[in-house]
Amino acid sequence: MSESNPPEAFKPRKVRCPACTGQSLYSSANPYRPFCSARCKGVDLGAWASEEFKLPDETPLDEDFGDPRQQ
Ligand SMILES: [Zn+2]
């Protein structure tokens, strides 16, 4: 048998938490990855939610702008 390097299963490693820039364990054991904790993940989700609410409501006002009697 030749030397074979069995592919390492998902190897946990430390990454930087995007929310608090602290150390976060990037592994299947951390359901909040790449965040370090549920709190940090919640912070990000909160930002996302507010971002959604900030979407401009671009309702076309054609009927208001165009005068049907113009033609
Ligand atoms: Zn964090």
pLDDT at 36: 93
Residues of the chain with pLDDT under 70: 1-10, 44-56, 60-61, 63-68, 70-71
pLDDT at 64: 67
CB distance 19 to 43 below 8 Å: yes
Residue 28 maps to a domain? yes
pLDDT at 46: 63
Radius of gyration of the chain from Cα atoms? 25
DSSP bridge partners of 36: none
CB distance 15 to 32 below 8 Å: no
Q: How far is the CA of 16 from the centre of ligand 1 (A)?
A: 8
- Tell me which DSSP letter residue 37 carries: S
Q: How far is the CA of 7 from the centre of ligand 1 (A)?
A: 29
Total number of domains in the chain: 1
pLDDT at 2: 59
Q: How far is the CA of 37 from the centre of ligand 1 (A)?
A: 6
Q: How far is the CA of 18 from the centre of ligand 1 (A)?
A: 7
Which CATH number fits the domain that encloses residue 35?
3.30.50.10
> Cα angle at 14 between 11 and 18, to 5 degrees?
125
Q: For residue 61, how far is the Cα from the chain centroid? A: 33
Q: Which domain holds residue 43?
A: 13-54
pLDDT at 58: 72
